[in-house]
Structure 1
Amino acid sequence: MKTYFYPLFLFILCIGCTSQENSASFIENTEGRYLFNDNEVIEIYFKDQILHAKWRGNDDIELLKVNDSSFYMKELNEKMIFVSSPEMHIELAPKTEHKGVIYHFKKLNKNEKTPNEYFEAGEYDKALEAFLKIKQQDSLSPVIRERRINSIGYNFLRDKKYDEALQIFKINTALHPKSSNVYDSTADAYLIVGDTTSAKEYYKKALAINPENRNAKRAYNKLVEKK
């Protein structure tokens, strides 16, 4: 039991000896939005000299100060280190579970947004640009997986958010131009909104990539027969 409690005692003692006051410059440099992953943000702010975070729907996460630049976040079970050089970012303190991976969360510029945030704001061109940037940096990122984005599009269709559905499907065609399925899905969306001309165009694109795409073939033939 003594072996277990001794490191914990030292940790608590260390925190107890740390000043809870944060300098004005540290607060100014630290507050802001950090890129937690390719499409998710963690926001850092101070309230009554105590550092807080907004993350995944929780707008008031209080972090425990370890020292002047390190804070413990219980929700992540991680010690976050704020580093100002070469540019402001957060690093997670190394531990066995990380298996040698270095976690680095860069601070976003004032007007910088994630792809989802651009999309939700109706800035579809910027959303596409941001998605393409992710693909360029990491072509295997889960954020740009074809199935994931297609699923979002069909969710929009089910909710009758037709413009959003068409826009996200078009983004998917730009991200995965060699996929028959993404053109097929875009055609489905056009068909639902009654734009048969565009639907035929996209079904043709789907079939040009994969002539055996049964959904595209069936839907395209029906449209041609109605002409």
Structure 2
Amino acid sequence: MKKFLPSFLLLILLASCTSQKNTDEFIAKTQGRYLFNANEVLEIYFKEKILHAKWRGNDAIELLKVNDSSFYMKALNEKIIFTSTPEMHIELAEKKEHKGVLYYFKKMHVDEKTPNEYFEAQQFDKALQAYKLIQKQDSLSPIIRQHALNSLGYKLIKKNDFDAALEIFKINTILYPENSNVFDSLGEAYFLKKDTVNAIINFKKALSINPENRNSKRFLKKITKNK
């Protein structure tokens, strides 16, 4: 009866027989940032010509070279393949767990950022365009869910970063113009900024979409009472 090595052990065995150093040409073509998903980056860099990656808080992941274009990434338990056509990108080698599914991670332009990175850099217009592009490509993406963006806004409020909270709530109203809750949240942010004029506008907008929005009713009553 024949016994076969698990695929990852076979890859490690192959890697042990391969020089881990890479050519200058390969380094120049492949180093950079790859879009792992719509809001997450896998960064490829080289140290003494050996390939490393930065991913999910780990800044020093060393990948095992299997051949001139393929590497085993233990953190993913995947073999990644660098492919230059039609443009430089990374693919995952097919395996049983995702047979028939192509995973394609495109190389990002030098000045390209994810929506969150644009937002953190206070490039709010670019963040909005990036979020809108995701919505156009995949309206069900968890990255642009109304609830997720709203939660981010309230986290910023807890940090007393009202300006950033305003911006993420504004983005949410543009992405979901028929949602009462997003205008209610924007109204709250304006209220906390002591901008009662814009707070009233947004609470009324929330109520025009959903007349039963209790929070907007409560805030409007509080504002008018104080006046």
Q: Is the partner of 1:102 in helix, strand or coil? A: coil
Inter-partner Cα distance in structure 2 for 1:176 and 1:143: 14
- Contact 1:65–1:71 (Cα < 8 Å) also in 2: yes
- Contact 1:18–1:68 (Cα < 8 Å) also in 2: no
Alignment partner of 1:104 is 2:93: no
User: C-alpha root-mean-square deviation of aligned residues, in Å?
Assistant: 1.7
> How many equivalent residue pairs?
227
Residue in structure 2 matched with residue 176 of structure 1 by the alignment:
176
Q: Is the partner of 1:54 in helix, strand or coil? A: strand
Is there any run of 5+ residues in structure 1 with no aligned partner, and where? none
Following superposition, the deviation at residue 121 of structure 1 comes to 0.6
Residue in structure 2 matched with residue 113 of structure 1 by the alignment:
113
Residue in structure 2 matched with residue 44 of structure 1 by the alignment:
44
Aligned-pair identity (%):
62
- Contact 2:23–2:49 (Cα < 8 Å) also in 1: no
Q: 1:5 to 1:68 in 2, by over 3 A?
A: same
Which residue identity is paired with 1:25?
Answer: E
Is there any run of 5+ residues in structure 2 with no aligned partner, and where? none
Which residue identity is paired with 1:88?
Answer: M
Inter-partner Cα distance in structure 1 for 2:216 and 2:4: 63
What's the CA shift string for 1:126-151, capped at 9, x where partnerless?
11011011111111111000100100
Q: Is the partner of 2:91 in helix, strand or coil? A: strand
Alignment partner of 1:69 is 2:66: no
Inter-partner Cα distance in structure 1 for 2:222 and 2:11: 70
Which residue identity is paired with 1:98?
Answer: H
Residue in structure 1 matched with residue 33 of structure 2 by the alignment:
33
Following superposition, the deviation at residue 102 of structure 1 comes to 1.2
What's the CA shift string for 1:145-168, capped at 9, x where partnerless?
010010000000011011111111
Residue in structure 1 matched with residue 163 of structure 2 by the alignment:
163
Following superposition, the deviation at residue 226 of structure 1 comes to 3.1
Alignment partner of 1:215 is 2:225: no
Inter-partner Cα distance in structure 2 for 1:152 and 1:205: 21
- Contact 2:21–2:48 (Cα < 8 Å) also in 1: no
Following superposition, the deviation at residue 17 of structure 1 comes to 3.4
TM-score (norm 1): 0.94
Inter-partner Cα distance in structure 2 for 1:149 and 1:91: 30
Q: 1:30 to 1:222 in 2, by over 3 A?
A: same
Inter-partner Cα distance in structure 2 for 1:14 and 1:185: 55
Inter-partner Cα distance in structure 2 for 1:53 and 1:9: 21
Q: 1:97 to 1:13 in 2, by over 3 A?
A: closer
TM-score (norm 2): 0.94
Q: 1:101 to 1:207 in 2, by over 3 A?
A: same
Inter-partner Cα distance in structure 1 for 2:172 and 2:7: 50
